């Protein structure tokens, strides 16, 4: 479980632990990980998934302890709220490394363990932003588009090896890194925001029911995705109506 120190990752780990899973919690913040691991009787791996060498070293340690990996949840992610004109180029590179390459590197590094399991499952937590191009968060959106394409390509590839790939597409979720404070302040937009526990339940259901791709919540995001495909200009107009982030 990457990105396990807070938000969707921590909520998913708690839900899996309730169901009897042994969770290996992966993130950068060791103190947070140790606290959660104590609560869940799990294991920790301190790792920056945006660093390929660190990912490969982490995966080697995990596979030494657990040659078969039944479930990998690629959840680590970071925001980048600027447009492509405003964003620092180091941020553009970093968000791509964490959100896209981190997913690809973890999947490749832990693939031997997934293939060794009786039925391995790989969950990639992407975003509705991977399907709709919002200009205000251009670098983040691009990283999620790449992550979504990777996840979709991986499902038929790994099906031959008996590994199921599940893609989760959350809408706006209130977490520590993505507070959604601006949306929640406005009466016309606060209903768009969901919580980490809702996404965690969707992740577990997707694995249990072998769902390929899940949008959470279904409304209004699934219709918006379809609408973007046939009328992208209308989505641009809707984006202009959403409140702008302050500060």
* Residue 134: per-residue pLDDT: 80
> In the numeric block, which tokens belong to residue 238?
């809707």
| Cβ atoms within 10 Å, residue 131 | 21
Q: Are 2 and 99 in contact (CB under 8 A)?
A: no
Per-residue pLDDT at 246: 44
What pLDDT score does 230 carry?
Answer: 74
User: What is the crossing angle of helices 30-40 and 7-18, to 10°?
Assistant: 20
> pLDDT for 10-27, tens place per residue?
999 999 999 999 999 999
pLDDT value of residue 240:
63
* CATH 3.40.50.720 is right for the domain spanning 7-241: yes
Distance CA 123, CA 165 (A): 6
User: Can you give the pLDDT of all 247 residues of the chain as single tens digits?
Assistant: 999 999 999 999 999 999 999 999 999 999 999 999 999 999 999 999 999 999 999 999 999 999 999 999 999 999 998 999 999 999 999 999 999 999 999 999 999 999 999 999 999 999 999 999 888 899 999 999 999 999 999 999 999 999 999 999 999 998 887 888 777 777 767 888 899 999 999 999 999 999 999 999 999 889 989 887 776 666 566 656 666 654 3
Q: What is the per-residue pLDDT across 123-136, written as a single tens digit (0 to 9) for each?
A: 999 999 999 988 88
Distance CA 47, CA 117 (A): 23
pLDDT tens for each residue of 55-92: 999 999 999 999 999 999 999 999 998 999 999 999 99
pLDDT of residue 133: 83
Cα 63 to chain centroid, rounded = 22
Per-domain residue ranges for the chain?
7-241
pLDDT of residue 227: 82
Cis amide linkage into residue 220, ω under 30° from 0: yes
Cβ-Cβ contacts under 8 Å for 79 (sequence gap 6 or more): 95, 137, 140, 177, 178
Task: Supply the pTM of this predicted model.
Answer: 0.90
Q: Determine the Cα–Cα distance for residues 124 and 190; give it in Å rounded to an integer.
A: 26
Give one word for 136, left, alpha or beta, with left for phi > 0 and alpha for psi -120 to 50.
alpha
Catalytic sites, residue numbers: 140
Helix axes 89-96 and 138-159, enclosed angle (nearest 10): 20
What is the per-residue pLDDT for 247? 37
d(CA 217, CA 170) in angstroms, rounded, equals: 7
Output the pLDDT for position 202. 98
Alpha helices in 117-231 (DSSP H): 138-159, 181-185, 196-209, 218-230
**120-125 and 163-170 as β-strands: parallel, antiparallel, unpaired?**
parallel
How far apart, in Å, are the Cα atoms of 114 and each of 66, 158, 163, 230? 10, 10, 7, 38
């Amino acid at each position: 479980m990457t990105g396990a120190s807070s938000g969707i990752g921590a909520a998913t780990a708690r839900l899996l632990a309730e169901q009897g899973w042994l969770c290996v919690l992966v993130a950068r913040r060791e103190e947070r990980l140790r606290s959660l691991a104590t609560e869940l009787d799990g294991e920790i791996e301190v790792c920056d998934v945006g660093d390929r060498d660190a990912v490969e070293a982490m995966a080697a340690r995990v596979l030494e302890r657990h040659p078969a990996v039944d479930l990998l949840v690629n959840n680590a992610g970071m925001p980048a709220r600027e447009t492509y004109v405003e964003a620092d180029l180091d941020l553009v590179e970093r968000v791509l490394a964490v959100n896209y390459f981190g997913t690809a590197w973890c999947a490749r590094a832990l693939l031997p363990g997934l293939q060794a399991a009786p039925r391995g499952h790989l969950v990639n937590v992407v975003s509705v932003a991977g399907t709709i191009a919002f200009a205000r968060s251009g670098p983040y959106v691009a990283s999620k588009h790449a992550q979504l394409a990777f996840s979709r390509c991986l499902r038929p590839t790994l099906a031959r090896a008996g590994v199921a790939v599940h893609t989760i597409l959350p809408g706006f979720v209130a977490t520590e890194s993505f507070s959604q404070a601006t949306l929640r302040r406005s009466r016309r937009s606060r209903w768009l925001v969901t919580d980490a526990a809702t996404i965690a339940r969707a992740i577990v259901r997707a694995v249990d029911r072998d769902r390929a791709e899940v949008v959470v919540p279904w409304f209004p995001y699934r219709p918006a995705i379809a609408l973007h495909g046939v009328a992208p200009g209308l989505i641009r107009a809707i984006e202009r109506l959403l409140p702008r982030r302050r500060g």
